[in-house]
Amino acid sequence: MEETKYEHSLVFAVRDYECDLQGVVNNANYQHYLEHARHEFLISRGISFSHLHDEGLDLIVTRIEIDYKYPLRSHDKFVVRSTILREGNVRLVFVQDIFRLPDEKLVVKARVTGAATKNGRPVHPGDIIKRLGLG
Amino acid sequence: MEETKYEHSLVFAVRDYECDLQGVVNNANYQHYLEHARHEFLISRGISFSHLHDEGLDLIVTRIEIDYKYPLRSHDKFVVRSTILREGNVRLVFVQDIFRLPDEKLVVKARVTGAATKNGRPVHPGDIIKRLGLG
Amino acid sequence: MEETKYEHSLVFAVRDYECDLQGVVNNANYQHYLEHARHEFLISRGISFSHLHDEGLDLIVTRIEIDYKYPLRSHDKFVVRSTILREGNVRLVFVQDIFRLPDEKLVVKARVTGAATKNGRPVHPGDIIKRLGLG
Amino acid sequence: MEETKYEHSLVFAVRDYECDLQGVVNNANYQHYLEHARHEFLISRGISFSHLHDEGLDLIVTRIEIDYKYPLRSHDKFVVRSTILREGNVRLVFVQDIFRLPDEKLVVKARVTGAATKNGRPVHPGDIIKRLGLG
């Protein structure tokens, strides 16, 4: 397996309200972590999700695949590492993996496909692709 | 204690993801239940929260008081009963109580104070008050 | 494409707090809807997720794939339709699709792979498979 | 008004999924912030919420009062400052205020009353009170 070269990392701590009655982080919350890491990744490249929205441009997720490898628990610290690939003309793919800290145990492997829409219709994410250095 | 005369009821079922590692519904989720019940109450009077927002008018919560009397658990059914009072010229107060079903065990007593804002500034909630029959 | 024969349906209404600043239901919330529908599906077959947990047996999700086809918005009603397949000896796969009501617009297509663990270790989901009629 | 002497601070950043269709942090999420800050406060005094739970002892919230002064938005940073008071024999009161950073704009003022329960029944929070230096 070729190693992923991540371009962005964000460290989190589990919050107790994110854990469910099984005592582990509820599955849907990993999607929150991944989303927050993507938005911070984009901000680090000068792309604000909410400013884009105000201009009528939305980056939307069209597909998500998540492999749950190991559960996070109360008090755990972890890092979301992300990179981004271009797929075809109009799609962006975020490869995002979550590791527990400090032991680097693999928690989640995710692949998130996105597209750009303007007022609800798909558009070419030209400017975004340029700012991400994918042009 | 004088009995509250409720004007609106909404029945819910606990969803497992709303429970935390104590095995009970996480405290913040009651606020979600109360909010959803308020919005449905307003819709039943012809007032749409999201349509108001599109017109630049927001109904905001300025204060919330919640007494937690008994916890809800996985599989519980419950009802949120609400009524609304006018307080002074510009404030609305929702009195909202939650009861477990079918045994009517009191779960939560809440008092939620709201105000209207237009583009971020407080306004008189005139039209809303009329539609609620509080004029 | 062969048509899915669903074995369980659950009707929901969007709650405003589930919508994000794009004005649509936040992606992670679909996972909540799917989870709640799976748990209700299992309950309808006499399998309680939280009772299993109390016995040390957890049904966990090992992989989720979600295709986001069309966003839900404030006030939308929708149905989650589910069926379950056996995959190999130890995995269960839930096929779950979400349709807006009443127009049956396809919202989400999901495939959720699960496994059983006892005190954190994978076990054969024997009894569960029997109760689901997959034996 | 006498100034509050806080004993604990925790810095957060708003995550976009915490914002609702009004473009601001949804009211219930402030309760999440406050809860996480309380748990971190207790941990800083050697009290683990989830370890207590495993021993059958739960710290529960019996009442919450929140004044919403100013909304947080996407990208905002903020701090939750907390202190704790003893009230009568068995109750603890957390005074918790949220300020936007770096301008120290007051966002939320909260007062959260807690009690200790063992296997669901109220108990004297003796050991907890000692560790908090409130004895």
Q: What ipTM goes with this model?
A: 0.92
Q: Mean pLDDT of all residues in chain A?
A: 90
Residue C52's pLDDT is 81
Q: For residue A67, give Cα distances in angstroms to A27, A111, C28, C113, D3.
A: 10, 9, 15, 9, 50
Cβ-nearest to C61 among A27, A62, A63: A27
Which of B16, B20, B76, B127 is flagged as catalytic?
Answer: B20
| pLDDT tens profile A47-84 | 887 778 778 888 899 999 999 999 999 989 999 999 99
SS3 of residue C17 by DSSP: helix
In the 3-class helix/strand/coil scheme, how is chain A assigned residue by residue? CCCCCCCEEEEEECCHHHECCCCEECHHHHHHHHHHHHHHHHHHCCCCHHHHHHCCEEEEEEEEEEEECCCCECCCEEEEEEEEEEECCCEEEEEEEEEEECCCCEEEEEEEEEEEEECCEEECCHHHHHHCCCC
Residue A77's pLDDT is 98
Q: For residue A128, give Cα distances in angstroms to A47, A59, A93.
A: 7, 10, 13
Residue B108, by phi and psi: left (phi above 0), alpha (psi -120 to 50) or beta?
beta
Model pTM? 0.93
Percentage, residues of chain D above pLDDT 70: 98
Percentage, residues of chain A above pLDDT 70: 98
Give, for B120, the enclosing helix (H) or strand (E). Answer: none
Which of D20, D67, D103, D127 is flagged as catalytic?
Answer: D20
D2 touches C: beta carbon within 8 Å: no
Give all chains having 3 or more CB-to-CB distances under 8 Å with chain A. B, C, D
D74 touches B: beta carbon within 8 Å: no
Where does the pLDDT of residue A124 fall: very low under 50, low under 70, confident under 90, or very high at 90 and above? confident
Mutation site for B-interface testing, chosen from C20, C36, C44 by largest number of B Cβ within 10 Å: C36
Output the CA torsion sign for C19, C25, C26, C31. positive
Tell me how far apart the alpha carbons of residues A27 and B131 are, in angstroms, rounded to a whole number. Answer: 42
Q: Do D16 and A36 touch (CB under 8 A)?
A: yes
Cβ-nearest to A39 among D16, D36, D49: D16
Is it the case that residue A1 has pLDDT exceeding 70?
no
Task: Establish whether C20 is a catalytic residue.
Answer: yes
| D residues 93..132 contacting A (CB < 8 A) | none
- In angstroms, the separation between the Cα of residue C113 and the nearest Cα of chain A is 9
Q: DSSP characters for B19-46?
A: B-TTSBB-HHHHHHHHHHHHHHHHHHTT
D13 or C1: which leads in pLDDT: D13
Return phi, psi of residue C47, to 5°. -115, 115
Is it the case that residue D135 has pLDDT exceeding 80?
no
Give all chains having 3 or more CB-to-CB distances under 8 Å with chain C. A, B, D
Q: Across residues B102-113, what is the average pLDDT? A: 98
Residue A126's pLDDT is 74
Q: Which two tokens stand for residue C86?
A: 């056996």
- In angstroms, the separation between the Cα of residue D23 and the nearest Cα of chain C is 5
Tell me how far apart the alpha carbons of residues A40 and A31 are, in angstroms, rounded to a whole number. Answer: 14
Beta strands A57-68 and C57-68, pairing class: antiparallel
Residue A30 near residue A109 (C-beta atoms within 8 A): no
| Angle at the Cα of A126 from the Cα atoms of A123 and A131, rounded to 5 degrees | 135
Q: Across residues D100-119, what is the average pLDDT? A: 94
Strand extents, DSSP E, chain D: 8-13, 57-68, 77-87, 91-101, 106-118, 121-123
SS3 of residue C68 by DSSP: strand
A80 or B121: which leads in pLDDT: A80
Q: Do A20 and B19 touch (CB under 8 A)?
A: yes
Residue B14 near residue B33 (C-beta atoms within 8 A): no
Residue C56's pLDDT is 82
Tell me how far apart the alpha carbons of residues A118 and A120 are, in angstroms, rounded to a whole number. Answer: 5
Q: Across residues D40-50, what is the average pLDDT? A: 87
| pLDDT tens profile D1-25 | 567 899 999 999 999 999 998 889 9
Please state at what angle helix D27-44 crosses helix B27-44, rounded to 10 degrees.
170
Give all chains having 3 or more CB-to-CB distances under 8 Å with chain D. A, B, C
Q: Across residues D14-42, what is the average pLDDT? A: 94
Tell me how far apart the alpha carbons of residues C126 and C123 are, in angstroms, rounded to a whole number. Answer: 8
User: Considering just the CA atoms, what is the radius of gyration of chain D in Å?
Assistant: 16
Tell me how far apart the alpha carbons of residues A27 and C66 are, in angstroms, rounded to a whole number. Answer: 13
- In angstroms, the separation between the Cα of residue B130 and the nearest Cα of chain D is 23
| C residues 4..43 contacting D (CB < 8 A) | 16-17, 19-21, 23, 26, 28
- Where do we find the tokens 């145990």? A105
Kindly list the residues from chain A whose CB atom is less than 8 angstroms away from the CB atom of residue C71: 60
Is it the case that residue D130 has pLDDT exceeding 80?
no
DSSP state letter for B133: T
